[in-house]
Amino acid sequence: YPFDYDSPASLAAFLEARGLSMQKRFGQNFLVSPGVRSKIVKLLELSKDDHVWEIGPGLGAMTHMVLGLCRNITVFEIDRGFISFLREHFSMVEGFELVEGDVMKNWQPAYTRFAPPSLIFGNLPYNCAASFIGDLIEAGANPRKMVFTIQKEVAERMSASPGTKRYGAFSMICAFSWDVRIAGIIKPGSFFPVPEVTSAIIEMVPHHRFSGLSAGLASTFAKDLFANRRKTVRNSLSGGILAARLGKNAILNAAEEAGIGLGQRGEEVSVEMVAKACGHLTDKFA
């Protein structure tokens, strides 16, 4: 390689020589810690036949590690300069695909066009990490595992338990179909350029404890429940989208039947209870 992936000075010199610069608007911070990269690859538990998706490969630091362990990788990259470098270095490798442009627009068409991936990972740009993960969940993407590097605060929201400060609609939306775990914290100094925030590695493994649950219904219920954190469950649900659509009494009855106390706050309500309440509403929602 024409540079050292672990050295900010070497990366900076290479970028300058190619007339490239790191762009904040694309959340470009390269992981320059070989230890963290190895940890992520280990978490993926790759086998030869896996089809891996990598989001935001940058200059491919992780891409070639993954290619050493499995045959198929599809990468999604938006930056023109990085795209031309990736083409030069990987396009001759069999099993390598590059989807150019915005992953937010491109992932769904790719998901239906090719065989769905068995693993999805990436050191995600900060600006679209939460919405990308939310979209994958809502669309029912079903890989064996997902491993992402994201802002620590977002990782904490995703993996929060009831009764804690970070517990909210996003925690619930994740937990309906995924076991989410923080697998490591990454200090800002492990990136180049050094970001303002601390990051975390999040590991997501699908579970099937609520099979038959409508993702659209469940996520709307969760959002209604947390629309205003100070309100009681009764008030939140009464003023929510589901009440407007299915009737206030239907929602409140379903909640009570599922054991949700109407005088509680959203943060005290478990995912199991919401799944149960949604079970009572599925026919109406369809």
CA angle 160, 163, 168 (to 5 degrees): 50
Distance in angstroms between the alpha carbons of the first and the last residue of the chain: 54
Is there binding between residue 251 and ligand SAM (CB under 6 A)? no
Question: DSSP readout, 120-133?
Answer: EEEE--TTTHHHHH
- How many other C-beta atoms can be found within 10 angstroms of the C-beta atom of residue 16? 10
- By beta-carbon proximity to ligand SAM, the closer residue of 28 and 159 is 28
In the bound state, the residue with its beta carbon closest to ligand SAM is 56
74 binds ligand SAM (CB under 6 A): no
Report the distance separating Cα 129 and Cα 144, nearest Å: 19
Decide whether 33 or 238 has the Cβ nearer to ligand SAM.
33
| The one among 103, 130, 186, 274 contacting ligand SAM by CB under 6 A | 103
102 is in an annotated binding site: yes
Residue 136 lies near ligand SAM (rule: CB under 6 A): no
Nearest approach in angstroms of CB 15 to ligand SAM is 12
Check: CB of residue 242 under 8 Å from CB of residue 220: yes
Q: Which DSSP string do the residues of 128-167 spell out, in sequence order?
A: THHHHHHHHHHTT---SEEEEEEEHHHHHHHTPPTTSTT-
Identify the residue among 78, 129, 260, 269 touching ligand SAM (CB under 6 A): 78
Binding track, positions 79-98, relative to ligand SAM; x by CB under 6 A? x--x----------------
Exposure letters 234-267 (e unless 16+ CB within 10 A, then b): bebbbebebbeebeeebbbebbeebebeeebbbb
**Amino acid occupying residue 180:** V
221 binds ligand SAM, rule: CB under 6 A: no
31 is in an annotated binding site: yes
Amino acid letter for position 106: N
What are the Cα distances from residue 164, in Å, to 46, 234, 265?
34, 20, 12
Shortest separation between residue 180's beta carbon and ligand SAM, angstroms:
20
Nearer to ligand SAM, 129 or 233 (CB): 129
Judged by CB under 6 A, the residue of 128, 130, 136, 278 near ligand SAM is 128
Q: In this chain, which of 125, 168, 240, 266 binds ligand SAM, going by CB under 6 A?
A: 125
> Which residues are annotated binding-site positions for S-adenosyl-L-methionine?
29, 31, 56, 77, 102, 123
Site residues for ligand SAM per CB under 6 A = 26-31, 56-58, 61-62, 76-79, 82, 102-104, 123, 125, 128
